Amino acid sequence: SLHDALPISRTRALSLWVSFAMENLVYNTAPGVGALQGQRETRQADELKAVLRDWAQMTEDAHKGFPAEWPTKAMSVVERMRRSMGGVVDSVQENLQGKAEYLGYGLCAVTPEKIPEKWSITLFSEELVRGGGCSFVLSSFLRKLDKAIRAQGGGANWQIISQGDPGATGWLEQTPDLMSVQAKTFDRPTILLANSLSGEEEVPPGVVGVITPDAPDVLAHISVRARNLKVMFATCFDSDEFEGLARFANKRVKCQLSGDKVTVEALAGGDEGGGKSGGGLLGALASAVGGVKIDLPPPTKFSKYALPEAAVDPEAHPKVHGAKTTNIVKSRRMLPAWIQTPRSAVVPFGVFEKVMSHADNKGVADEYKRLVDKELHAAGDPLKVLEKLKRCIKDLKAPSDMVAAVKQALVDSDIIQPGQLEGGDWDDAFLALKGVWASKWNDRAYYSCKKANIGVEFVQMAVLVQRLVEAEYAFVIHTVNPSNDDKDYMYAEVVVGLGETLVGNFPGRALGFTMRKDLSAPPEIQSLPSKSVALFGGGLIFRSDSNGEDLPGF
């Protein structure tokens, strides 16, 4: 019908104009080949060319017949295009703004009567982006094209990552990014309107909901934590709708879930001043946050430097390693031989403390104790002390008997061959192992422990060692759909290469789909891939296996 044809015609026209603007951006920003060409500029140029190649195909398909799957495919390319364009803008800002301010303010000091207004200095790179390279034009076209594609069925305006309670009620607060507030404790139920997030943040205490235009993987850390804590977490893809939510800032609102959409409404009696309130929901929240009581298993004393897989007893008490080693070894022994899993060895609890107490590490041990006992507790900015603690651990030297024991455990587990892991290879391996020990002082771990009233110094870290599977594709499957807790559906996400781009929330989306467990219907595609990076490689992987993992409520 004519009614159906008009939106398609508009989408076709927009796709063509986007193609022209994208081509112009490539010509303006892709560097030539030469000695001055930097690696970053080369990667950026390759990314722009890859997106242009894909979009040229989408434009051709749109004008040939507009196949039914076109909107879904187009949306994945548009997401990647928007991100690559953002990279160009960031590069211009990084390369030119500092120089513009240095020259501009320098001229101001020498010839104040001849220099333009100071705003022209602070906005120099922004105006350059608006006036050149077609990125501003492309951004305008993409905003319209995004709406047109979604109207054609290319994607919903919302993605519910965690349902919350379901939904959420609280005071709406705006924040540029989630990382900057992850250390904050909110004294009232708060719903954050966060412009950006990395996916690695910890949900701050007091937060009952997060709304963002970013689209983290369903399996990113922040996504998993939000579901575990029953915090509502949703992505709003419509930029106009997201920006419109700012009108609720400093108001008490109720977020309700309706299918795959979130509706936000202001509640009567929510004063805009946003003063502290007590009792009711706040009292319950404070009680819940303050009442979190997690008991870590008692510290395990040193037993051995390393255990090969055959020596791991999943039922042993006290535990000398975390749940990760237990579950991996258990499943390996239960599975049929035709299902292959990586072999494992573990550096158990107590080894870190044993190495720290060695005579060769006395200076490191004294500094480490001072940082933990004094400087960390007195620090106004704990992040700086955390960095010192991690650097301190990486200065540890390995006792010779530890080196021999770890190598032997890896040989006995068929992870390496005799004679391997010598010289510089061992140095690299030990640095990676120390990196796992040091990771208990990561900011996310620190704030997570603080929220649960656990002294992070009491966390013990075992290290699971495996040979990395050189994967062509990696996936994670939820046997219950995490977006709506529907037990009849499973949800899966797939990426090219190693799985770190998925669980580490690398920018872009994975191939995501749901499927009925009874196989009564074909899979339903939720997202097509739009990531720009795939990781490939082999070697050994050193994995954290602490006594604080997989504890109920933590």
553 contacts: CB under 8 Å, gap ≥ 6: 292, 294, 452
pLDDT at 95: 79
Residues in the chain: 554
Angle formed by the axes of helices 39-64 and 70-92, nearest 10°: 150
pLDDT at 283: 41
pLDDT at 394: 95
Angle formed by the axes of helices 2-29 and 135-151, nearest 10°: 150
C-alpha triplet 307, 313, 316: angle, nearest 5°: 115
- Exactly one of 221, 358, 377, 478 is catalytic; which is it? 221
Q: Which tokens belong to 314? A: 């999943």
pLDDT at 182: 79
Answer whether 15's CB lies under 8 Å from 69's CB: no
pLDDT at 279: 36
Q: CA-CA distance, 550 to 554, in Å (whole number)? A: 7
pLDDT at 349: 94
Answer whether 308's CB lies under 8 Å from 445's CB: no
Q: Which tokens belong to 13? A: 């026209």
Q: CA-CA distance, 304 to 459, in Å (whole number)? A: 19
H helix intervals, 245-375: 280-290, 323-334, 351-356, 362-370
241 contacts: CB under 8 Å, gap ≥ 6: 157
Q: What is the pLDDT along the chain (554 residues), one digit of tens a residue?
A: 434 456 888 888 899 999 988 888 888 776 555 555 556 667 788 888 899 999 999 999 998 888 888 988 998 999 888 888 877 777 777 778 888 888 888 887 777 776 667 777 888 877 777 666 556 788 888 888 888 888 887 777 888 888 888 889 999 999 998 888 877 889 899 999 998 887 777 788 889 999 998 877 776 777 877 887 889 999 898 888 899 999 999 999 999 988 778 999 998 866 544 444 333 344 444 434 444 556 677 778 899 999 999 999 988 888 899 889 999 999 989 999 899 888 999 999 999 999 999 999 999 999 999 999 888 887 778 889 999 999 999 999 999 999 999 999 999 999 999 999 999 999 999 999 999 999 999 888 888 787 777 777 778 999 999 999 999 999 999 998 887 788 999 999 999 999 989 888 788 889 999 999 999 999 998 888 999 999 999 899 999 998 887 666 55
Q: Do β-strands 190-196 and 207-212 pair in parallel, antiparallel, or remain unpaired?
A: parallel
Answer whether 104's CB lies under 8 Å from 179's CB: no
CA distances for 111 relative to 99, 119, 124, 146, 550, angstroms? 18, 17, 19, 47, 64
Please indicate whether residue 377 is annotated as part of the active site: no
Stretch (H or E) spanning 68: none
Say what the alpha-carbon torsion angle 338, 340, 346, 349 is, to the nearest 10 degrees.
Answer: -90
pLDDT at 407: 96
Strand locations in 243-356 (E):
252-258, 261-266, 307-308, 344-347
Q: Which tokens belong to 382? A: 């704990």
Residue 196: half-sphere exposure toward Cβ, Cα within 13 Å:
7
Q: CA-CA distance, 546 to 348, in Å (whole number)? A: 9
Quick count: other Cβ atoms within 10 Å of Cβ 128? 18
Burial class (CB in 10 A: 0-12, 13-18, 19+), 59: buried
Backbone angles phi, psi at 422, to 5 degrees: -105, 160
Q: Which among 184, 351, 159, 121 is positioned nearest to 237, based on CA atoms?
A: 159
pLDDT at 192: 93
pLDDT at 116: 66
3-state secondary structure of 474: strand
DSSP string, 155-183: --SEEEEE-BTTBEEEEEEEEEESGGGTT
